[in-house]
């Protein structure tokens, strides 16, 4: 059957083998690494995985993956987040690209870093799924283990980023459940900015922006006096964007 087309047949086989040899290099040149921030039990946490593959097998690392050929960076970040957490519709932001020659021991891999802010606790607990990881855990940012690759650096830059961003944009709300108390909100600011804030001044300023809706509703099931619940009013973003909020 192939007698007349021997050449072509062999060439096809060969083509496939060459492509297999070269394309993986191509495919492995970008990756996305994600710093997923979550707020739970008064602590700021990030999602870390325990690697199950070389290099850095058994090390802790930021979740990440390779970018595929037919997806944009943002799409890739969204996909990777979904694969890891099952979550969709989470706002992720690209914040820096790490491209030192030897950052990956197996070749040149440039990594584009994204962060996202997730609501933890409550009914929306994030159950990480992953095939290249043994396990995934939420770990307090003040108590991080040693990380694989240059992930320590990637984390630190992400942390700096949200410290700056929280003064300009209402990102704190993304870490809280839909209904929250002012004390919880203040906790988010305190943990991210890493300093104590004055309760009265905090409340005065926050309420003055007019982006909080008093729900006329109280916490339920807490010991001691229940606090009023608030909701974030998304239509009134603009005012917070325009100016630095100093605490």
Partner DNA sequence: TTACTTAGTGTAAAAAATACACGCTATATT
Partner DNA sequence: AATATAGCGTGTATTTTTTACACTAAGTAA
Judged by the rule CB under 8 A, the positions of this chain that interact with its own copies are 7, 10-11, 14-15, 18-19, 22-23, 25-26, 29-30, 67, 69-74, 94, 96-101, 108, 110, 112, 243-244, 246
Q: 87, exposed or middle or buried, with CB in 10 Å at 0-12, 13-18, 19+?
A: middle
Compute the distance between CA of residue 121 and CA of residue 119 in angstroms, rounded to an integer.
7
Q: Which does 96 bind (CB under 5 to 8 A by kind): its own copies, DNA, none?
A: its own copies
Compute the distance between CA of residue 76 and CA of residue 66 in angstroms, rounded to an integer.
8
Is the separation of the CB atoms in 110 and 97 below 8 Å?
A: yes
Pick one of 224, 234, 235, 242: the residue that binds DNA (CB under 7 A). Answer: 224
Q: Which does 72 bind (CB under 5 to 8 A by kind): its own copies, DNA, none?
A: its own copies
Pick one of 20, 127, 195, 225: the residue that binds DNA (CB under 7 A). Answer: 225
Q: Which does 225 bind (CB under 5 to 8 A by kind): its own copies, DNA, none?
A: DNA
**146 touches DNA by CB under 7 A:** no
Q: Which does 71 bind (CB under 5 to 8 A by kind): DNA, its own copies, none?
A: its own copies
**246 touches DNA by CB under 7 A:** yes
Pick one of 11, 12, 16, 226: the residue that binds DNA (CB under 7 A). Answer: 226
Number of Cβ within a 10 Å radius of residue 101: 8
Instruction: Select the span of 29-37, 76-84, 99-107, 221-229 touching DNA (CB under 7 A).
Output: 221-229
149: left (phi over 0), alpha (psi -120 to 50) or beta: left
**198 touches DNA by CB under 7 A:** yes
**228 touches DNA by CB under 7 A:** yes
**Minimum CB distance to its own copies smaller for 169 or for 183:** 169
Contact residues toward DNA (CB under 7 A) are: 181-183, 198-201, 203-205, 218, 222-228, 245-247
């Amino acid at each position: 059957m192939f007698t007349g087309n021997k050449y072509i047949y062999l060439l096809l086989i060969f083509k496939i083998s060459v492509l297999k040899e070269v394309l993986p290099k191509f495919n492995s040149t970008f990756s996305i690494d994600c710093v997923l921030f979550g707020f739970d039990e008064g602590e700021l946490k990030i999602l870390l995985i325990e690697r199950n593959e070389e290099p850095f097998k058994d090390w802790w690392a930021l979740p990440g993956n390779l970018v595929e050929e037919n997806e944009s960076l943002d799409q890739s970040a969204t996909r990777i987040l979904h694969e890891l957490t099952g979550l969709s519709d989470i706002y992720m932001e690209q914040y820096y690209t790490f491209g030192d020659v030897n950052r990956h021991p197996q070749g040149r891999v440039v990594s584009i870093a994204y962060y996202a802010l997730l609501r933890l606790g409550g009914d929306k607990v994030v159950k990480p799924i992953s095939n290249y990881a043994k396990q995934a855990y939420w770990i307090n940012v003040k108590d991080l283990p040693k990380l694989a690759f240059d992930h320590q650096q990637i984390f630190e830059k992400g942390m700096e980023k949200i410290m700056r961003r929280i003064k300009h944009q209402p990102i704190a709300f993304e870490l809280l459940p839909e209904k929250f108390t002012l004390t919880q909100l203040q906790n988010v600011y305190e943990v991210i900015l890493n300093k104590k804030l004055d309760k009265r001044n905090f409340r005065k300023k926050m309420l003055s922006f007019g982006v909080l809706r008093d729900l006329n509703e109280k916490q339920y099931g807490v010991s001691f006096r229940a606090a009023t619940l608030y909701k974030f009013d998304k239509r009134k973003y603009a005012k917070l964007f325009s100016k630095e909020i100093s605490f």
